[in-house]
Structure 1
Amino acid sequence: MATAKGRTSGFVIGITAAVVVVLIALVGVVVWMNNKATDPGAAPKGSIINSDTGAITTGTGTDKVTLFVDFQCPVCKNFETAYGADLQKLAKDNKITLEYHPIAILDRLSQGTNYSSRSGGSAYCVAQSKPSSFLDYLNTLFANQPAENSTGLTDAQLVDYAKQSGADKAADCITKQTYFKYPTAQATAHQITGTPTVEVNGARLDLTKATDLAKLTAILTKNGIQPGQ
């Protein structure tokens, strides 16, 4: 009986040890999967790119306007139609510092093609290879924005628009999807849940509030621009 009991105890200990090993392995897999999901991938580098924050910057003015945009987002397109040209002009004149963060939160709306990630990554490719072409490329993407729940633009179309914007050397980067992961990681890092997200001098605005929107329009009016005109 003592021998049988010893064997039983040994069996239980063996099973327990095996379960512990399996649980440890499962925890390791979960941790690995979580790390993979939040892996930012390669970080773009360039004269107008802040690799730490993900900001693509034009202008050197004292006032800073920061925009987080998803190229699949129709509200972002509406915002750019209303304010983009004026803000970009002020940035080109160095009256403001304008930061764009291409991010991806709407991949689910492109029928499995991950258009938000691909287009956001392509914008970093252009900013890196031809900084002076970035704004033209951004404007082109919004002008040719695909409808939500469509397959989005193909990589070949993104390359074509990059070339039209003067960024021929971005083609390989776009085709290889070098920065595919970066827009999603940036959305997570900056806690972006909706687009466009706008910050003025570091303060995040609630665009549904007139008082917050006034902080943005004040930047324009102080520089002689009347919004909507």
Structure 2
Amino acid sequence: MSEKNRDGKRTARERMAVEREKQRSADKRRRALIVGASVVCVLALAGVVGVLAANSGKDKKSAASGPAVSPSGATGKDGLAIPVGKDGAKSTLTVWEDFRCPACQAFETVYRPTIHELVDAGKLRVEYHLVTLIDDGRGGSGSRHAANAAACAQDAGKFTAYHDVLYENQPSETTDDFSSDSKLIELAGKVDGLDTPAFQKCVKDGTHNSWVVKSNAAFQSSGFRGTPTVLLGGKNIYEDQTMTPAKLKQLVEAENKA
């Protein structure tokens, strides 16, 4: 073998090694982003009992007055899950999330393209459960108001697009901007056809507030430790430090082949 060929092969191997290292570094940064953000949401859960006691009576009427009204198409026990994707999909991802939770936003940022790809391909169905962990831990009502607005968007057949808009415009955890109905309606303007009189009324009336409270109660009694909780085949993949979008895709595709 000529020296030139040896040099060429060595250079190719070196380039491949560099690319592999870049990918490992990128995966490590993604995991660090999600894990780092999750600390606050888990800590918020630890403070639920004390904060609930301190805030009892605040905003009670709007929080849970009247029967729990499930959004259109809600499924599962007590109609607490908002489904996205085809009914016949062989894989189901169950997501418990809070629109004020930074870790939920981090998970969305990293995994959303892969989840959308798998859903669009008919390989994955996602069932979203909306909770109010940050409201309970830090006070305020933005988690509940945002969840109600997302349920209103589900009534209009616009859940996925509005869900993504809420995370793209998530305020700082220390603020409670999502408690403003006008803010939530303003964000609906970013979704084609969502900002209608029916949607505005649903948001302002808190049509699904009691449903959100019921969903949150189911989360509290589930034994889950924090948000997001992301289940695939009954296993919380969010707690798997080796998980990446590529690995999630492999797992879903393997289930579909089986």
TM over 0.5: yes
Counterpart CA distance in 2 for 1:222 and 1:40 is 42
Letter in 1 for 2:112: G
> Following TM superposition, by how much is the alpha carbon of 1:45 offset from its aligned partner in structure 2, in angstroms?
3.5
Alignment partners' CA distance in 2, 1:94 and 1:125: 25
CA distance in 1, matches of 2:240, 2:71: 36
User: Highest relative contact order (Cα 8 Å, sep 6+), 1 or 2?
Assistant: 2
Shift of 1:219: 3.9
133-142 or 144-153: bigger deviation? 144-153
Deviation per CA, 1:157-178: give whole Å up to 9, x if none: 1112224312223111001111
Q: After superposition, where does 1:56-135 map in structure 2 within 5 Å?
A: 56-60=82-86, 61-108=89-136, 112=140, 114-128=141-155, 130-131=156-157, 133-135=158-160
1:54 and 2:95 correspond: no
TM-aligned CA deviation for residue 94 of structure 1: 1.2
Deviations 1:28-51 (A, max 9, x none): xxxxx9xx998884222313x227
Distance in 2 of aligned mates of 1:218 and 1:45? 32
Please state whether the residue corresponding to 1:150 is helix, strand or coil: coil
2:164 corresponding residue in structure 1: 139
Output the CA distance in 2 between the equivalents of 1:96 and 1:219.
11
Contact 2:97 2:131 in 1 (8 A): yes
Cα distance in 1 between the residues matched to 2:251 and 2:176:
42
1:25-40 matched pairs, under 5 angstroms: none
Superposition RMSD in Å: 2.8
Q: Which residue of 2 aligns with 1:174?
A: 203
Q: Is the 8 A contact 1:137 1:162 kept in 2?
A: yes
AA aligned to 1:196 is P
**AA of the residue aligned to 1:98:** V
The amino acid across from 1:164 in the alignment is K
Greater shift in the superposed pair: 173-182 or 68-77: 173-182
Letter in 1 for 2:205: K
Match for 1:171: what amino acid? Q
Confirm or deny: 8 A CA contact 1:110 1:152 kept in the other structure: no
Tell me the residue number matched to 2:69. Answer: 43
Alpha-carbon distance between aligned partners in 2 of 1:193 and 1:210, rounded to the nearest angstrom: 16
Partner of 1:205: 236
Q: Partners in 2 of 1:105 and 1:217 — Cα distance? A: 29
Rg (Cα) greater in structure: 1
CA change 1:124–1:50 in 2 (3 A) is same
Unaligned runs of 5+ in 1: 1-32, 225-229
Q: State the alpha-carbon separation in 1 of the partners of residues 235 and 98 from structure 2.
A: 17
Question: Which residue matches 1:151?
Answer: 176
Instruction: After superposition, give the CA deviation of every residue in 1:35-77 in whole Å (9 maximum; x if it has no partner).
Output: x998884222313x22724111121210100111100000000
Between Structure 1 and Structure 2, how many residues are aligned?
Answer: 183
Q: Which amino acid aligns with 1:150?
A: T
Of 184-193 and 97-106, more deviation after overlay is shown by 184-193
Secondary structure at the counterpart of residue 64 of structure 1 = strand
User: How far is the alpha carbon of 1:193 from its aligned partner?
Assistant: 4.1
Asked whether the equivalents of residues 69 and 207 of structure 2 are also in contact (C-alpha less than 8 Å), the reply is: no
Identical-pair percentage: 26
Q: What TM-score results when the alignment is normalised by the length of structure 1?
A: 0.70
The alignment partner of 1:147 has SS state of coil
Q: State the secondary structure of the residue aligned to 1:80.
A: helix
User: Residues 73-95 of structure 1: CA distance to partner in whole angstroms, max 9, x if unpaired?
Assistant: 00000000011221122112211
Cα distance between partner residues in 2 of 1:98 and 1:173: 24
Moved more, 61-70 or 190-199: 190-199
Q: With structure 2 as the length reference, what TM-score do the two structures score?
A: 0.62
Unaligned runs of 5+ in 2: 1-56, 254-258
* Larger displacement relative to structure 2 (184-193 or 89-98): 184-193
1:184 positional shift: 3.0
